[in-house]
Every structure is written in C-alpha cells, then in structure tokens.
Amino acid sequence: MSLELKNVEKKIGIDTHIYPTNLKLEKNTINVLLGSTLAGKTTLMQIMAGLDKPTSGEIWFNNENVTGMKVQKRNCSMVYQQFINYPNYTVYENIASPLTITGIKTDEIRQRVGKVAELLKLSAMLNKKPDELSGGQQQRTALARALVKDSDLILLDEPLANLDFKLREELREELPKLFEDRDCIVVYATTEPSDALMIGGNTATLLEGRVIQYGKTLEVYNKPENLISAKVFSDPPMNIAEIKKTGDTCKFSDNNVQWKSSAKIKDGTYKIGIRPHNITTYKEGNNSVEIKGKVQISELSGSESLIHFTNGNLNWVSLSNGTQQKNVGEDTKLYMNTDEFLYFDQNNRLVNNG
Amino acid sequence: MNKTINQKAWFFVIPVFVLVAFNAAIPLMTVVNYSFQETFGNNVFAWEGTRWFKQILQSERFHAALGRQIAFTFIILLIQIPLGIGIALTMPKKGWGVPVCLILMSMPLLIPWNVVGAMWNIFALPDIGFLGHSLNAMGFDYNFTQQPGDAWFTTILMDVWHWTSLVVLLAYAGLNSIQPAYYQAAEIDGASRWATFRYIELPKMKKVLTLAILLRFMDSFMIYTEPFVLTGGGPGNTTAFLSIDLVKMALGQFDLGPAAAMSLIYFFIVLLVCWVFYNLMMKNEAQS
C-alpha cells in the first residue's frame, strides 16, 4: 500500500496553491505535513482525499491511478481542526455513521464502535450529544469516527489546534499509539515543530505551496537540506547569521565571537543556523563559545526561559532550561553550543551539521 | 460582597418607563377600560363586567374569523418555510451571483405593505390585470373579487411573494454559517444529498428557522394592510382575518366594547404563541 503524488499542482485562478509536488507515502507510516498557515497543508490533504482535484498531475494509490476518483469511492477518513460531528446524533450514532451507510450488520457495528470508543475513552458518553461534551471529547468522537472505518488513508488536519494546552499534550501522546497496529497511511498536518518531533514517523516541511523536504522526522530535523526547511522546523525561530571561515577558525561577520570548527568545508562566507535551545545561559557541550548581549525580552514558558537579546545589529533568541530571570536592558553573557551549528552555503544549502 | 446602595440609578430607567407607558401601557389600558364597559358617547360609561368577553368567545363571527386566520397562517407557513429553505439552498455561495440574489430577495421586503396590496389588486384584476387576464385567457374561471377560492389563492400568493424572502434570507444566513468541513465530512462518509440536508444543514439551521417561523407567524397572524387593500375582506367575509374583522367591528359598527374585548383576546393569543416559541428557542439555546 502506498500513496504517491506525481507532479501534483493546484491552481485557483492565477494563484498557485500547490507547486508541482512529488511525494510518496508508504504503508503503515505516519507522515507529518509541517508548515505555517497557507503553506498548502490542507489543500494537499484534500487532494490526497479526493475532495479536491489537482489542476495537473496524478495521484496513485496502490499502483492504481486514482486522480479524479471521488472521495466516496476511496477508503479514507479525515479529522479537522474544528470538531466536526453530526449535531443531532449521539456520540454512538456519530461514531457508527461511516459504517451504517455501508450496510454492515448492527451487531458488528456495535462491537466496532464499542472497541473504538474504549480506545478513545468515550465509553461513558456514548448516549450524549456532541454539544454536551467538552472540546477534547468532541475531538475524540471525531477521531473515533475516523478510526472505526478501517480506512486506507487517515488524514488529520491540525486536529489538536483548537484544544487547550493540557488536552493537546494528552491527545498528542495517545495519537501515535492509536495508529500503531493499523494497516493504513496516516497524514498529520500541523504548524508546530514540536508536534512533528513528538509524533515521529516521517515529516514533510512545507512553505508557500512547496514541499521543501521529506524524510524521517529526526533526519529532517537534524539535517535540514536547506535553510528554509530548517526555518520551518524550528520554533522559536532559528537564529541565522553570516560567518567567515578561515582555516579552522570561524567568526561572525557582525561581531568578534569566534570558534574552532572541524567542519570539512572550504574557506569562505557561510550562513549559520542556530536553534534557540543551543544558545543558553549555561555552558553546554565541549565546544561552547561565549556571546555578550543586551536583553530585550525575557519570559518564562513552563520550565524554560526564552531570552531575546541583541548583539551588534543582530537579534538573537535563546531558550534555556530552568527559570533564568533576566532584566530587560541588562548586559548578559550566553553560551552557544558550536557542535550543533548548521552551516549553509550562499545558496542556502546545508553543507555541514556540527 | 458589599453592594453599594445608590438609588440614583432609577433616574436612568425613568425615560424607558415614560416611553413604554405612553406607547404601550396607556393605550392598552384604554382598551382594557373599554372591554369591561358600555360606552354611550360623551364619556358616559356603564360597567358590563365580562359580558363582552363572553359574547366574543361565544360568537360565531369570532370563531369564523379565528378559523380563517389560523388556516391562513398555517397555509402560508407551510408554503413559505419549505420554499424559503429550498430557495436558500439553491442560492450561490460565492461570486457575483450572491449580491444579485440578495438584492432580488430583499426587494419585496422593501415595498410598503399597502403598495403590495394595491399592486396585487391591479395585477390580479380579471379584466385588465396581467395575472387575472392571463388566467382567464388560459381558460380558468378566475375572479378574486367574487369567488372566495380565488380570493384566498390570490391573498396567499401575495403573501408568499411578499414574505418568502425573509425566510430565504434567514435560512441563507444559517446555511452560510456551516463550516465547509461539515460538508466534506459528509462527503467522506458517503452521505447522500438528502442525508446531508437532514443531518447537517437542518440541525444547523434550527435556530434561524425557529426565528423565521416565529416572525412569519406573528406577522401573518396580525396581517391587515395587504388583504384590506387587495380584497377588503371579501367577497363577503371570506378573507376577513382577525384584524380586518376587528376593525370592521370597532370602526364600522362602532361596537367599542366587544371590539376591545376581541382585541384583548387576540392579543393574548399572539402573546401565548410567542411565549411558547420563546421557550422553545431558549430550550434550544440551553442545549448548545
């Protein structure tokens, strides 16, 4: 089983929503589409589902061309950001709805609904209507509806975006487990890099209608092919600065911070990408280097501290563990872990990681 | 928590009290006054107790008018609500068609009621009116000024023309508030067009439709101007709905006592139905 997009393009009027895209999703995988809003995640999913036709290009499923085949004929299910359930059906009827249409026997329906409801902790509320449920339970109902059908393709379009923080964390942990023993392809769209890392599987980074990179999630994270992919897969935003390399010494163009690099690349000018968590208030790794700065913003987020500071003309974002209180305007010292630097050439392609 | 006591706030409420007193309470009390007394002109009154109320409630004339009123309201609701939903479903959701449809739909609502009556009167005249003449030319024996059936047909057609738009606009607003994802979900489930309507669109339109039914009920139950101009309640009394009958009694015959009693009974019927509807709507509200 596989789903393959071949040169799929989507235009609406003169606007291109998806530039020609090739993507092959394999059986029993979870695939994350990662990108900001308007990156084309939803459009891509609707094309995969058959809710929308590509302007050009083909969609192949199990070595069969399914371009233009209606969604009813494909065996897929979808969960949306909004909690979509039939408003005057009970939870039970909602979960059963994809099955009742196909004419499966009532006994089997009851059994399958019961199983899925248990999996999603809905057993106690099968007789309630969706609007009597909390947001989390409504979304669980929608998920149950998607799971009950044994679809070949399950599409999840930012399913956690409308949930509050705690519920999101909870459901995010459960999600990959739900799909473990299933014979299907799961596609999960999100704007959050942390979602992708948590869910694992494969990740495709998207920007403005283009798939930038597709591969194993950790690989995409650790070895972004280019600067754009790295930027998409970084939250808070990645720090980018220009450097000059002479011999094994690297130096920022903007200040005097320098370090020894074992990177096997030619001398010259490069761009450096530094993830915020690699700039910290404490030393990390064997090759950390000090940077001075003036604090612009200092905020706590849970057990992490986010410090924005300026050094020369550049703004930097750092993310440290623990609560590191700094005063705005304070001169401070931070440490950059040079082992984790990503080196990009002038064409923004990755030339060395670490 | 300590409440601060400040009676000066009452001053802010006074204008409303005065306004409501002048436009509702005082006129209503005059009617109440009339309904319990016999008037002889020159401000001479004699106490009659509940006599007028009994008389009205037992009068065949009132029963007939009420019956006609209920039948009329029932028929126009039965036509306008499904028709309104139907038109709303076929209206475009985007593009240049939207403003065109909306303007076309609002048009009948903007025409003054007596103009609507006059328009339809001329339109339906059997000898010179376009509708009346055409029907006769097609072989129908149509004359709304003489045949009760034709009078009813014309009145209902006029009301449908005038007010279906309101239902359309409300239903259209209700439909537009449904997120596209609902339709996609139904499509993925393989739901038929009917199932989509029955299980997504109709429940999602429940609130606006309750409102539409309430508005159309009240307006049609109190209808006066249009049938007055169109048929004047005729032929005979066949299209004399409650309001028309009431005005005949009060101003035509100058039976102020019975007319006042009838007004109050009429008022209570409308109030009762509104109360029932209000509770239904609040129940819906509480559910969601």
CA distance A175 to A156: 10
Length of chain A equals 354
> Does residue A301 sit at the B interface (CB-CB below 8 Å)?
no
* Section B218-240 average pLDDT: 88
Return the exposure string of B110-145: e unless at least 16 CB atoms fall within 10 Å of the residue's CB, then b: eeeeeebbebbbebbbbeebebbbebeeeeeebbbb
How many residue pairs from chains A and B have C-beta atoms closer than 8 A?
49
> Which CATH number applies to A239-353?
2.40.50.140
Q: Which residue has the higher pLDDT, B234 or A300?
A: A300
E strands within B185-241?
none
Tokens of B212: 């539409």
Any chain A CB within 8 A of the CB of B193?
no
- Interface touch A87/B203, C-beta < 8 Å: yes
Question: Could you give the CA distance from residue A333 to residue A331 in angstroms, rounded to a whole number?
Answer: 7
Residue in B178, B179, B183, B188 to test binding to A, most A beta-carbons within 10 Å: B188
**Are the beta carbons of B254 and B38 closer than 8 angstroms?**
no
Model confidence pLDDT, tens digit, residues A214-253: 999 988 998 888 888 988 998 888 998 888 888 888 888 8
Q: What are the tens digits of pLDDT across the range B50-103? A: 888 888 888 888 889 999 999 999 999 999 999 999 999 999 988 899 999 999
- Per-domain boundaries in chain A: 2-232, 239-353
First to last CA, chain A: 37
Measured CA distances, B225 to B61, B66, B116, B230, B231 (Å): 21, 17, 9, 8, 10
pLDDT for position B287:
60
Residues of B in contact with A83 (CB under 8 A): none
The answer to whether the beta carbons of residues A297 and A328 sit under 8 Å apart is: yes
User: What is the nearest CA distance from A35 to chain B, expressed in angstroms?
Assistant: 20
Q: Give A187 to chain B, closest Cα distance, Å.
A: 16
Residue A328 has a pLDDT of 87
Domains of chain B: 58-287 (1.10.3720.10)
- CB of A89 within 8 Å of any CB in chain B? yes
DSSP letters for A118-161: HHTT-GGGTTS-GGGS-HHHHHHHHHHHHHTTT-SEEEEESTTT
* Interface contact B285, partner A, CB < 8 A: no
Averaged pLDDT, B154-172: 95
Q: Which residues of A are less than 8 Å from B184 in CB distance?
A: 46, 49, 51, 71, 78, 80
What is the predicted pLDDT for the residue at B236?
84
Of the candidates B179, B188, B288, the beta carbon closest to that of A82 is on B179
Structure tokens at B182: 């609902």
Say whether B204 and A87 touch across the interface (CB within 8 A).
yes
Whole-angstrom distance, CA of residue B162 vs CA of residue B226: 10
pLDDT category of residue B286 using cuts at 50, 70 and 90: low
Decide if A88 and B179 are in contact by the 8 Å CB cutoff: no
Identical fold, A2-232 and A239-353: no
pTM of the model: 0.75
Give the DSSP letter of residue A237: P
User: H or E element: which one contains A8?
Assistant: strand A2-12
CA separation for the pair B106, B7 (Å, rounded): 47
| Minimal Cβ distance to B181: which of A80, A97, A132 | A80
Preferred mutation among A97, A141, A187 to probe B, highest tally of B CBs within 10 A: A97
Residue at A19: amino acid letter: Y
- Whether residue B1 has pLDDT greater than 70: no
Best CATH choice for the domain A2-232 from the list 3.40.50.300, 3.30.1330.200, 3.40.50.1820, 3.60.20.30: 3.40.50.300
B chain contacts of residue A132, beta-carbon cutoff 8 Å: 287
Contact B100, B244 (CB under 8 A): no
Residue in B182, B187, B287 nearest the CB of A71: B187
Do residue A131 and residue B287 have CB atoms under 8 angstroms apart? yes
Residue A119, classified by CB atoms within 10 Å of its CB into exposed (0-12), middle (13-18) or buried (19+), is middle
Kindly list the residues from chain A whose CB atom is less than 8 angstroms away from the CB atom of residue B287.
129, 131-132
Q: Do A80 and B188 touch (CB under 8 A)?
A: no
